[in-house]
């Protein structure tokens, strides 16, 4: 009891990671452990997360729950953790190397694919769409966009007009959308790689008095509100909260010698106007699934 778990997340600004953090806290509280958060002061800074790993190793927490800011560049950091013999659970972005107790995440590709399909079906399998990408080179963006593209390929009458990055930034998405609307008089669907950008696109459409169906990814409160209000079509559920819960549970259970699972890849759920209710609560008031439920989601056990 009273184990200390160090939790590494990518930044302090994206609501998604806040959901993960709340999940870890929730799980730790019910299991009588405590978490300490390490977040780069500069969003997504690789050198800074490496430094934080080194500093944390000096402090020797009992276990680590780890989201790499970059799945490849952070491998040396993971190896240092391994050398220091601190058990570590990988969450959200699957690290390209290093030894982990388990991986807990969602499948970005399938998320993109399913949400994309949902949109295209709603459009009746035809029309013009644009994709708004996240940060170039980030695993989440690459996989989600790949999913979007594959969904589009399934529908012959759908035309992809443009695929532009807006770096997961709301304002950039808004301006990119404004500019795209100038060169494309007819846009029927917008696929954004996260909810913030989706909302930015919606604002741009509203501003120009144009209509299009917009989807995003993450299932944030804001997106749920927009879905409720009928402004947004759907959001792929990425469920950071549950990822945080399960990641922490695995870490603590391993410390206590209880059985664990080694991989949980959450199934994609598309949140739309028919099923948003469970998501319409602030993360702080949600609670973690019980271990049985969590174990049932496992895709690998040892």
Partner 1 sequence: MSMSSQTAGATPRLHLSKDVVQVIYRLLAAGLLCVVLAVVTDSFLSTNNILNVLRQASLLFFLASGLTLVILSGGLDLSVGANIGLSACLAATVIKATGSPVLGTLAGLGSGTLVGVCNGLMVAKLRIPSFIATYGMLWVLHGLTYYYMGGETIHGFPPGFRQIGSGYFLGIPIPVYLMLGFLAAGTFFAQRTVWGQQIYAIGANPVAARLCGIPVDRRLILVYAFSGAMAGVASLVFLARLNSAEGDIGEALTLPAVAAVLIGGASLFGGVGTVFGTFVGALILTLVLNGMNLLAVNASWQPLVTGVIVVLAVWLDMIGRRRT
Partner 2 sequence: MSDHALSAAQPRPRLPAIPGVAIVLVALALVFAAISPNFLSTGNLSNILVQSVILLLLAMPMTLIIMTEGLDLSMGAVLTLASLVLALTVVSTQSLVLGLAGAVGVGLAFGFVNGWLVSSLRIPPFVATLGTLGVAQGLALIVSDGQSVVGIPRFLRQVYSGETAGIPNPILIGAAFYALFHVLLYHTKFGVYIRALGGNRDALTLAGVKWQRMLVAVYMLGGAMAGVAALLLTARINAGHPTAAIGMEFDAIAAVALGGTSFERGNGWIFGTLLGVLTVGVLRNGLNLMAVPSSAQVAATGALVIVALFLDGLRSRKP
Binding site for partner 1 (CB under 8 A): 12-15, 17-18, 21, 41, 43, 133, 136, 162, 164-165, 169-172, 174-176, 178-183, 196, 199-200, 203, 206-208, 220-222, 225
264 strand-pairing partners: 104, 298
207 binds partner 2 (CB under 8 A): no
Contact indicator for 265, 226 with CB cutoff of 8 Å: no
The piece of 71-79, 110-118, 250-258, 268-276 that touches partner 2 (CB under 8 A) is: 71-79
172 binds, among partner 2, partner 1, none (CB under 5 to 8 A by kind): partner 1
Q: Which is nearer to partner 2, 11 or 235 (CB)?
A: 11
* Closer by beta carbon to partner 1, 136 or else 256: 136
Sequence-separated contacts (24+) of 273-276 with Cβ below 8 Å: 273/227, 273/228, 273/230, 276/224, 276/227, 276/228
Interaction with partner 2 in 124-153: which residues (CB under 8 A)? 135-137, 142
* Binding range to partner 2, per CB under 8 A, among 68-76, 99-107, 152-160, 288-296: 68-76
Q: Do 216 and 194 contact (CB within 8 A), yes or no?
A: yes
Residue 184 engages partner 2 in binding (rule: CB under 8 A):
no
Report in angstroms how near the CB of residue 71 gets to partner 2 at its nearest: 8
Distance in Å, CB of 145 to partner 2, minimum? 11
- Find the binder of partner 2 among 3, 30, 50, 225 (CB under 8 A): 50
47/278 with CB nearer partner 2: 47
Question: If binding is defined by CB under 8 A, does position 206 make contact with partner 2?
Answer: no
Using CB under 8 A as the binding rule, whether residue 46 contacts partner 2 is answered as yes
Secondary structure (H, E, C), the chain: CCCEEEEECCCCCCHHHHHHHHHHHHHHHHCCCEEEEECCCCCCCHHHHHHHHHHHHHHCCCEEEECCCCCCCCHHHHHHHHHCCCCEEEECCCCCCCCCCEEEEECHHHHHHHHHHHHHHHCCCEEEEEEEECCCCCHHHHHHHHHHHHHHHCCCEEEEEEEEECCCCHHHHHHHHHHHHHHCCCCCEEEECCHHHHHHHHHHHHHCCCCCEEEEECCCHHHHHHHHCCCCCEEEECCHHHHHHHHHHHHHHHHCCCCCEEEEEECCEEECCCCCHHHCCCHHHCCCCCHHHHHHHEEEEC
With CB under 5 to 8 Å by kind, the binding choice for 175 among partner 2, partner 1, none is partner 1
The only residue of 32, 72, 184, 280 in contact with partner 2, by rule CB under 8 A? 72
The binder of 176, among partner 1, partner 2, none, by C-beta within 5 to 8 A per type, is: partner 1
Please, what is the minimum distance in Å from the beta carbon of residue 205 to partner 1? 11
Residue 58 within binding range of partner 2, rule CB under 8 A: yes
* Residues of this chain that bind partner 2 (CB under 8 A): 12, 36-42, 44-48, 50-52, 54-56, 58-59, 70, 72-76, 96, 135-137, 142
């Amino acid at each position: 009891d009273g184990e200390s778990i160090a939790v590494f997340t990518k930044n302090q600004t994206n609501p998604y990671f806040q959901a993960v953090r709340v999940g870890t806290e929730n799980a730790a509280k019910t299991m009588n452990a405590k978490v300490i958060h390490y977040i780069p002061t500069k969003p997504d800074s690789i050198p800074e997360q490496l430094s934080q790993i080194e500093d944390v190793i000096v402090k020797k927490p009992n276990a680590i729950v780890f989201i790499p800011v970059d799945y490849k560049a952070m491998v040396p950091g993971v190896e240092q953790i391994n050398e220091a013999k601190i058990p570590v659970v990988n969450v959200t972005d699957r690290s390209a190397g290093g030894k982990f107790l388990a991986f807990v995440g969602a499948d970005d590709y399938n998320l993109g694919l399913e949400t994309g399909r949902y949109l295209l079906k709603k459009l009746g399998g035809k029309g013009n769409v644009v994709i708004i990408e996240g940060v170039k080179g980030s695993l989440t963006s690459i996989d989600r966009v790949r999913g979007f593209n594959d969904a589009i390929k399934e529908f012959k009458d759908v035309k992809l007009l443009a695929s532009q990055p807006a770096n997961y930034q709301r304002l950039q998405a808004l301006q990119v959308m404004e500019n795209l609307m100038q060169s494309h008089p007819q846009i029927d669907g917008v696929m954004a790689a996260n909810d913030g950008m989706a909302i930015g696109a919606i604002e741009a459409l509203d501003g120009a008095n144009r209509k299009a169906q917009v989807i995003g990814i993450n299932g944030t409160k804001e997106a749920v509100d927009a879905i409720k209000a009928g402004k947004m079509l759907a959001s792929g559920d990425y469920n950071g909260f549950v990822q945080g819960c399960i990641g922490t549970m695995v870490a603590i259970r391993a410390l206590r010698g209880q059985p664990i699972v080694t991989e949980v890849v959450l199934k994609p759920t598309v949140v739309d106007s028919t099923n948003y209710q469970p998501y319409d609560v602030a993360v702080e008031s949600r609670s973690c699934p019980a271990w049985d439920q969590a174990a049932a989601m496992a895709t690998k056990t040892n």
